[in-house]
Structure 1
Amino acid sequence: KASRFVVSIYDEHTTNLNFSLRTKELVKSVTLEGHTEAVCAVDAVYQSDEPDLDLLIASAASDSTVRIWSRHGSEGNLFLNAATTYWLNKNVIFNRNFIQFQKTLILPGHEDWIRGIEWAVCDEDLFLASCAQDCLIRIWKVCMKSKESSETEDYSIRLKENVFTVKDTGTTYAVTLESVLAGHENWVYAVHWQPSFTKGGSIQQPMRILSASMDKTVILWEPDKESGVWLEQVRVGEVGGNTLGFFDCQFSPDGSMIIAHAFHGAFHLWKQSSVNKKEWTPDVVISGHFNSVEDVKWDPEGEFIISVGLDQTTRLFAPWKRKHETEVTWHEVARPQVHGYDMRCLAMIGRFQFVSGADEKVLRVFRAPKNFIENFSNITGIPVENALHALCNSHSSELPEGATVPALGLSNKAVFEGDMPAQPAEYEETFNTISNQYPEIYFQPLILTEPPPEDHLLQNTLWPEIQKLYGHGYEIFCVACNNSNTLIASACKASKKEHAAIILWSTTSWKKLQSLSFHNLTVTQLAFSPNDQFLLAVSRDRNWSLWRKQDSSESGPVFSCCAYTDKNTAVHSRIIWSCDWTPDSKYFVTGSRDKKVIIWGQCDLSMPAEGNIPDLIKPCSTVLDAMDSVTAVSISHVLTPDGRYIVAVGLENGKIILYTWKQSGQEPALADWTKCVEMDNSQSHALAVKRLCWRHHEGRAGHNDQKNSEWLQLASCGADHCVKIFNVNRFAL
């Protein structure tokens, strides 16, 4: 039976529940208010066979109450039925009496907070499994107690029975402790029975339990067929890495797969071998950031994307096609940087090199190691022999195999072939000695043909850090690289003009070339023009500045300010969050918190100019009202078939809207903006859009439709922890 209801906790700090009823035509949303502290758990069940009738919802919160909500009829309201106290170190059984719940029995035993409980039905008996922070799992058996058995004297040894009677029916039940499972070495956060299935027309409940713990393991328990004693059958989990264990786990419906999620927001999937039932191997699973994603960039060839976020990681996603399948899916294939600071921005420097900025004063430059390039080719099927050969030739030193993070360090240290232990046994012995609890080298090269699991992503896919760039006084906020990969521009957080200066760096000498001072507050985004002649900066001070490249000097190119806005010429009245260039370098776009999107240009920038000329650059479009704060803008490098620019606009409410624009005549045309697509709620971000980035080429990554393709791809990232890739049909715009 398909469920038509979704009950969710939409904010971990909220005291409310969000309830949605989905039909073919309508989605109704209702918020259930009643708890006084944050809601931490919720579940729902139908009370009848009618999907629209008698829905029962239970919610537990930090206010030490469990509240029961009931919905009667397809048009009925939701109302509170009961509120009962919830004990954190005892199992409590409640007996439902019509619409009220009465406390019936307390099952003591756990010595710390209970983190999970779940029922199972086997024949005529009920089983309750519970897990707690005392590292133990307890299994309780609930069975009907007949009067004859209670009156008959039996001198055999038996466990103590906890007895209760249901007042409505007069039926007496006995609860006994079936077993205590001790195997985890840290808090047990979740326990689940294998789902029941139908066989021969009857529902059967397999007696298997899955548990997840903060000791980084998931254990499958099953009673021995002869003795009935519960034993550990399978133990899977992580080895190494800087994780803190598992929060939850689940069986697949047929029990052949196990999925768990960890502290760092990652899923882990294991699949049972069809030959050896006790052999479970990691399988490919989705992954992503677990905090706000601040920036995303395509590589110059458009074959993968790299993103950074406040979860302190840099992640690389690429398309992958399973064997004998045609569908292309995106997966994380490397985690080049696992940092100690929140990540803010990045820029690609060629195909396999990037620079990133975080909440520190240092820019860090990373280059792909040999093992990643080889595995990237194996996974995606993209030949990279030329790229690998070029990297080896362009750097006189040997290309490292991979990278590792030294103990208590922030910099990824290169690992070369001679640094690695010859045999795995030698590596394991070195790792386990007391003097080497924090080894300098624990990278192991992998031969991959599919996306790696989480433990390998954390440990074996780092990129070596090749350079640090010092010069900023506060946390890095934005960075950009020109299209010829020779210059880097960066800016940091600032409340004064002296700190808001833009710094230019050389990518050959990694030296500081120039400091560009103009803005009074933080520069929020930087963008080089496609012809590399201009650098555009937008700022919190509500102004933009345009810098022109001058003749090269001995120390490198010099940029001078050729145009800007000030308090007299500014059009934007709030923070300018984002900017971008048209592919012909004739125009640029700005987007602001004031809900305005403006195209600028209408001048001959090839003529020399000194200082600021008020009429040098003007708005050449009507002011686009986006109806909400604009947080990201991006212009496609590929035009529509009729020659219009394609502009993507991201809003603070999570919406992404696609427009086309084309100037007609000297004055702004009344219909120069055309709204083409507005993403619906299912496709949009749930929170603010942080960055938009078009793929520079036609076609879709991972498909063989690169030339004369109707498709474009747009990458976006947001504060909702998501990275999204949209396929856009440019002929339909």
Structure 2
Amino acid sequence: MDMLLAFVSSLGDQMPFWWGTMKDFFTSITDKINHLNSSSVAPCAQIKTHSHAVSALVEHDGIIVTGSSDMKLKLWNLPELDNTNESSGGLILEFTQKQVIDTGKRFPIALAMSKLPGTSVQLLAVGLTDTKIRVFVASGSQFAEAAVLQGHEDWIKALDFSLLYTAEDGISYITLASGSQDGTIRLWDIRQAPEAVDKPTKGDLDDQLLDAFEASLGEVGAEETGRQISMKQHIVKVTDGERAYNFHITLDALLIGHDAGVTDVTWMPSPNSRILLSTSVDSSVILWSSSDSTSQIWTNRYRFGDVGGQRLGGFVGGLWVDANQAVAFGWNGSFRRWNYVNDQWHEVQAVTGHSAPVHGIDWEPSGRYFISASLDQTVRIHGPVEDRWTEIARAQTHGYDCIQACFLSDLRFASISDEKVARVFDAPGAFVRLASVLGLRSTDEDVSARPVAANVPPLGLSNKALSEDNVEQSVNSLERAPYEAELASVTLWPEIEKIFGHGYESISLAVSRSKALIATTCKATTAKHAVVRLYDSQSFKPFGTPLEGHTLTITRVAFSKDDEFILAGGKDRTWHLWKRNEDGGYSNFIAGKGHARVKIWDATGDQSKLQKPLANLKMEQPATAACFSSIQSDGRILMAIGLETGEVQIYASELPFEQWKLMLRFPPNVTHIDQIRQLAWRPSPEGLFLASCSDDGSVRVMEITQ
């Protein structure tokens, strides 16, 4: 096995993972969607490190450092990647604990590691839940505290060491950047001292007096928090082999530019390019640089993001893809990316997606795009753009968790959330124009009768329509898929109707194949509320009487392909089937008990055919979703089954559909990692595509070739 890359990660659940990649790892983030060839990624080890959640983690030169809310730092030796020690899941690595450092009553929230210039001595910077930076240096096999850097007035949230720089005088040095919740960034210069210091000198006493004086100034001018500057030189003495070195750490610059707390700092990965990227909860990204390699004057060269706003908590972090690409990511899981081209920075397409479990998906009637609803309180529309699936609209941004969304037509959908009403939305003119530009619709449609866009008023829950006079020109001028900032602000669909009827929060939603009826269910603890309510999709008025039979919450409702039947399953461990009458209404046809298997039934005749299932499939794990495809050209029908573990399996059968054969089992590294919520085959003759959504927060589209 060829080991090309390895990395370490943590979910904050006490167990960091060490990942290894074997071959064909990835095409890189520059491919816009960050497509992973995940068949080559496998976890090598899972380490039980702490008794509480992991709060910080860093790896450098064979050492992993983990910090936790159990008030401890733990250092681990990274084993050699032995290619002969393999298993079916990848490598098996055994980590040995190197050292434990007690951090008292504070826990680590930021870590960074490097080497002292010109030596092999490792350096560790630690930011705890206070205002100080602890600097540790390796002494033999252990790390010892060597200096405490003060100046920030709030918690240090980010630390990063620069690459090794060489000044004009030939002296090599590194710079430690620290970002704090006080909104400032401090740069600490670390270089070899010109002379050895064996004992305190008058200069040290002067430094102590200067620090005391500056502290007294801070007490007098408390309103200038985070702005106090100390020029004290912190002396660090180390031994590398048989040679002793003295280094000093001094404050090089204080960077002020963010309007709120700094969340991340990271140096450009380019030798002798002193450019620092910083992100903040003020929704901005700033690139800082000095005029030359020796200057202590740092300036704000470029500023990205949303100036003057704090959308959705701002940015939580940032990184460099390379010297010409920068990425920032937010609390809601979104990414924004900028490219440096022709001496200018330009925003380009980045990764988007839900940030919470996704409970519902549905295809547009002709399969040109699909919709997804998530507990992150958004409903999003995704379509194929330049041979990849991309979010093209964020149609609903709600104040309640979104449960399900279904298309009523190609430009209208209904959705339910954790509330008692269902809502209906109609596409604005801006979406119709954008879909035409992206090749998803015809280009000759008249949109003059449609509102241009929509917005959500302050303290409101409903998307209100906007006319041409009330929107920015940029809404109608998009010639590409929207970026994250545009998705969150200008791609909403106006709400045209609310559907009332249930007494408790909605649970399930379905639309008939003819798009004439809407079916909804709600939470229920009695038979009175455990009903399926039908509505006309044109007038949005109740259709017929509620369908009774269940005694507890109905968790899923669905129409048959010909709308002849309505099927529902509930928490009362029963399923009910209603059949259409001559007058168009539905009446109870048959009911059955719940089971722990996948059973296929014949509903083409009378009740006698439903007394016994056609087939009975026993799954290795509980099945949580299933979906039939249309009949294929070879006469077969496909059934996709989603499991509680996130796995998807494809079965095939021919008439009379009594024998089902497992055709395909999606490998775990290309499918979901949590419970499958819904599966949906694409209603398109152009290939065989299956969409899936899961509690892992992702939506996936798989193309299946036979």
Structure 2-normalised TM-score?
Answer: 0.83
Aligned to 1:474: 504
Structure 2 contact 196–245 (Cα < 8 Å) conserved: no
Q: What is the CA deviation profile of residues 556-614 of structure 1, one whole-angstrom value per residue up to 9, with x for unaligned ones?
A: x321111222xxxx2x33xxxxxxxxxxxxxxxxxxxx2x1111116525xxxxxxx5x
Which one of the candidate residues 622, 636, 643 is aligned to 1:644?
A: 636
Aligned to 1:160: 232
Given that 1:446 and 1:460 are in contact with CA atoms closer than 8 Å, whether structure 2 keeps it comes out as no
Match of 2:350 among 253, 278, 285: 285
Instruction: For residues 164-203 of structure 1, give each alpha carbon's deviation from its aligned partner in whole angstroms, at most 9, with x where no partner exists.
Output: 201454211111100000111100010011002xxxxxxx
Equivalent residue of 2:485, what SS? Answer: helix
- Is the contact between residue 140 and residue 179 of structure 1 (CA under 8 Å) also seen in structure 2? yes
In the alignment, which of 601, 617, 624 is matched to residue 617 of structure 2? 624
2:8 corresponding residue in structure 1: 7
Q: Residue 186 of structure 2: which of 130, 133, 138 is its match?
A: 138
- After superposition, where does 1:235-634 map in structure 2 within 5 Å? 235-238=303-306, 242-254=311-323, 256-274=324-342, 277=343, 279-321=344-386, 328-380=387-439, 382-385=441-444, 388-389=445-446, 398-420=449-471, 445-513=475-543, 514-552=545-583, 557-565=584-592, 570=593, 572-573=594-595, 594=596, 596-601=597-602, 603-605=604-606, 613=607, 615-634=608-627
Pair 1:44-2:111 in alignment: no
Say which SS state the counterpart of residue 682 (structure 1) adopts: helix
Amino acid corresponding to residue 77 of structure 1 in structure 2: E
Deviations 1:287-323 (A, max 9, x none): 00000011111101101010000000000111111xx
Deviations 1:202-234 (A, max 9, x none): xx2310101000011000001124954001000
Contact 1:242 1:458 (C-alpha < 8 Å) held by counterparts: no
Using the TM superposition, give the Cα deviation of residue 40 of structure 1 relative to its aligned residue in structure 2, in angstroms: 2.1
CA distance in 1, matches of 2:417, 2:440: 33
Three-state SS of the structure 2 residue aligned to 1:516 is coil
Q: How far apart in 2 are the matches of 1:259 and 1:537?
A: 45
1:560 aligned counterpart, secondary structure: strand
CA distance in structure 1 between the partners assigned to 2:649 and 2:552 by the alignment: 29
Residues 41 and 669, structure 2, Cα contact 8 Å, conserved in 1: no
Tell me, yes or no, if the aligned pair for 1:316 and 1:333 is still in contact at 8 Å.
yes
Query: Does the 8 A contact of 2:282 with 2:310 survive in 1?
Result: no
1: distance between equivalents of 2:580 and 2:614? 26
Query: Residues 153, 543 of structure 1: CA spacing in aligned structure 2 closer, same or farther, 3 A cutoff?
Result: closer
Deviates more, 1:141-150 or 1:535-544: 141-150
Conserved 8 A contact 2:577-2:589: yes
- TM-aligned CA deviation for residue 528 of structure 1: 1.2
Q: 2:674 is matched with which residue: 684, 687, 698?
A: 687
| Aligned AA (1:563) | I
3-state secondary structure, aligned to 1:372: helix
Distance 2:479 2:471 in 1: 22
Partner of 2:35: none
Cα distance change on mapping 1:380 and 1:509 into 2, 3 Å = same
Any idea what the Cα deviations from partners look like across 1:114-136, whole Å, max 9, x if unmatched?
01111112121111000010111
Partners of 2:4 and 2:21 within 8 A in 1: no
- Hey, what does 1:591 align to over in structure 2? none
- In the alignment, which residue of structure 2 is the partner of 1:119? 161
SS of the equivalent of 2:669 reads: coil
Q: 1:488 to 1:97 in 2, by over 3 A?
A: same
1:541, distance to aligned residue in structure 2 (A): 1.7
- Give the deviation of 1:6 after TM superposition: 3.0
Instruction: Determine helix, strand or coil for the equivalent of 1:512.
Output: coil
Q: Could you tell me whether the CA contact under 8 Å between 2:371 and 2:406 is conserved in 1? A: no
CA separation in 2, counterparts of 1:602 and 1:333?
39
Q: Measure the CA separation in 1 of the matches of 2:79 and 2:609.
A: 68
1:29 alignment partner in structure 2: 44
8 Å contact kept, 1:219–1:235: yes
**Is the CA contact 1:636–1:694 (under 8 Å) kept in the aligned structure 2?**
yes
Matched, 1:676 2:683: no
Give the distance between the partners of 2:329 and 2:57, measured in 1 at CA.
Answer: 18
| Partner SS, residue 375 of structure 1 | helix
TM-score, length basis structure 1: 0.80
Cross-structure match for 1:181: 255
Q: Is the Cα contact below 8 Å between 1:258 and 1:269 reproduced in 2? A: yes
Unaligned runs of 5+ in 1: 47-54, 197-203, 322-327, 393-397, 425-443, 574-593, 606-612, 700-710
Q: CA deviation at 1:31?
A: 2.0
Q: Hey, what's the Cα distance between the residues in 1 that align with 2:139 and 2:587?
A: 80
Superposed CA RMSD in Å reads 2.5
Equivalent residue in structure 1 for 2:688, among 708, 712, 715: 712
Q: How many residues in Structure 1 have an aligned counterpart in Structure 2?
A: 619
Q: Secondary structure at the match of 2:558?
A: strand
Return the letter of the residue paired with 2:313: L
Letter of the 1:265 partner, please give it: G
1:210-221 superposed matches below 5 A: 210-221=277-288
On the 8 A contact 1:479/1:490 being kept in 2, the answer is yes
**TM-aligned CA distance change 1:726 to 1:72, over 3 Å:** closer
Are the structure 2 counterparts of residues 2 and 382 from structure 1 closer, same or farther at C-alpha, using a change threshold of 3 Å?
farther
Distance 1:550 1:26 in 2: 54
TM-fit CA distance, 1:43: 2.1
Give the secondary structure class of the aligned counterpart of 1:231.
Answer: strand
Quick check: 2:628–2:638 contact (8 Å CA) kept in 1? Answer: yes
